[in-house]
């Protein structure tokens, strides 16, 4: 019975990871639109996400999902996937196209998660899995180089480090997917929103109503709740290392969405990089080593 159960968990985690990658790709496009054409800045986007997500999640879960003893790990999760991530990465989009930011965030997120998982979680890596990861990272590097230096890489590298911290802290927290998402939203709302509204007053509500609705649904519900829950499910089923591999799917998906919605036309070298990335992710996910209990 153990083998079928493990197979179900792998399939469930894989589907959750692919769905999360699709939503993350949409977030890069949405954030790029918000800070360039939507009349909002990164501080506004971060506030809007948790204004929407925190009360909704609290209504769903109906309890605080962490104890005093687990507050430190929950705080690390909120640091990694909370306002800091939105602000840092969103700032990078002021001067960089969505496809560049999505690629570099994914590259650094995968690399930092691999380092952290090996050091902190002792998660095993087989030779074929390492080869698949190397292929995926090579494809991501090609995609970044194809951007020809447009925009600073540092906000996106910082975003990758924050995201890795979230994934590893969640893996060690023992929380369920819904509990993890709620913990991030509640801590972020309690810490960030009072400071934001004290500093800006009612500025958030001066944005165009259509943009508020678009960003509220996209930031607060789809990204702030659904994507984080899917990612948490993938990490729980596959581990932090393999869960991070789905970030490698973000650049190809972002290329497609940025072309469709922002008119950012991909170059042939970028399309070639997509094929390399997908090949690497396929190898890394197909040939995995068993998780230690």
pLDDT top residue among 108 and 53: 53
Q: Given its phi and psi angles, is residue 87 left (phi above 0), alpha (psi -120 to 50 degrees) or beta?
A: alpha
Of the candidates 140, 141, 39, 155, the residue with the CA atom closest to the CA atom of residue 90: 155
From the list 159, 215, 207, 198, the residue with the least C-alpha distance to 46 is 215
pLDDT tens column, 63-115: 888 777 778 889 999 999 899 998 999 888 888 777 778 777 877 887 788 78
Angle (CA) 160 101 104, round 5°: 50
Alpha carbon distance 12, 236 (integer Å):
10
Model pLDDT for residues 155-172, shown as the tens digit of each residue: 988 999 998 898 888 888
Instruction: Tell me if 291 is assigned to some domain.
Output: no
* pTM assigned to the model: 0.79
Residue at 293 is within a domain: no
How high is the pLDDT of residue 99? 72
Residue 127 has pLDDT above 90, yes or no: no
CA distances from 98 to 68, 81, 131 (A): 39, 19, 28
- The reply to whether 141 falls in a domain is yes
Residue 191 inside a domain? The answer is: yes
Which residues neighbour 167 within 8 Å (Cβ) at sequence distance 6 or greater? 80, 113, 231, 235, 240, 243, 244
Q: Which two tokens stand for residue 50?
A: 């948790």
Q: Can you give the pLDDT at residue 1?
A: 45
The tens digit of pLDDT for each residue in 203-259 reads 888 888 888 899 889 988 998 888 878 887 887 888 766 776 777 788 788 878 888
- Alpha carbon distance 174, 39 (integer Å): 40
Residue 218 resides in a domain: yes
Least confident of 40-44, 156-160, 258-262: 258-262
**CA distance readout (Å), 206 to 31, 49, 83, 166, 203:** 18, 16, 20, 32, 5
Q: Is 23 within a domain?
A: yes
Say what the pLDDT of residue 293 is.
Answer: 36
Give how many domains the chain has, as a whole number.
Answer: 1
Q: In terms of residue numbers, what domain contains 162? A: 2-286
**176 falls within a domain:** yes
User: For residue 152, is it within any domain?
Assistant: yes
Examine the pLDDT at 2 and tell me if it is beyond 60. Answer: no
């Amino acid at each position: 019975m153990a083998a079928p159960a493990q197979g179900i968990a792998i399939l469930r985690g894989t589907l959750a990871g692919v769905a999360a990658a699709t939503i993350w790709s949409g977030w890069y496009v949405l954030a790029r639109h918000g800070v360039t054409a939507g009349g909002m800045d990164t501080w506004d986007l971060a506030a809007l996400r948790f204004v929407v997500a925190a009360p909704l999640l609290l209504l769903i879960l109906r309890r605080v999902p962490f104890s005093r003893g687990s507050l430190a790990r929950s705080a690390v999760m909120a640091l990694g996937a909370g306002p800091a991530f939105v602000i840092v990465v969103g700032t990078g989009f002021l001067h960089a196209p969505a496809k560049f930011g999505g690629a570099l965030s994914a590259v650094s997120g995968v690399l930092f998660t691999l380092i952290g998982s090996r050091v902190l979680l002792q998660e095993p890596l087989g030779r074929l899995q390492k080869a698949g990861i190397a292929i995926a990272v090579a494809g991501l590097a090609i995609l970044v180089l194809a951007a020809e230096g447009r925009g600073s890489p540092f906000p996106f590298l910082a975003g990758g480090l924050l995201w890795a911290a979230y994934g590893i802290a969640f893996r060690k927290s023992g929380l369920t997917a819904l509990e993890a998402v709620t913990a991030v939203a509640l801590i972020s709302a309690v810490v960030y929103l009072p400071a934001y509204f004290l500093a800006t007053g009612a500025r958030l509500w001066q944005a165009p109503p259509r943009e508020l609705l678009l960003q509220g649904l996209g930031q607060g519900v789809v990204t702030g709740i659904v994507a984080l829950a899917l990612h948490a499910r993938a990490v729980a089923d596959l581990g932090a290392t393999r869960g991070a591999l789905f970030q490698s799917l973000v650049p190809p998906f972002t290329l497609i969405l940025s072309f469709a919605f922002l008119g950012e036309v991909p170059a042939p070298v970028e399309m070639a990089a997509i094929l390399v990335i997908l090949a690497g992710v396929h190898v890394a996910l197909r040939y995995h080593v068993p998780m230690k209990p």
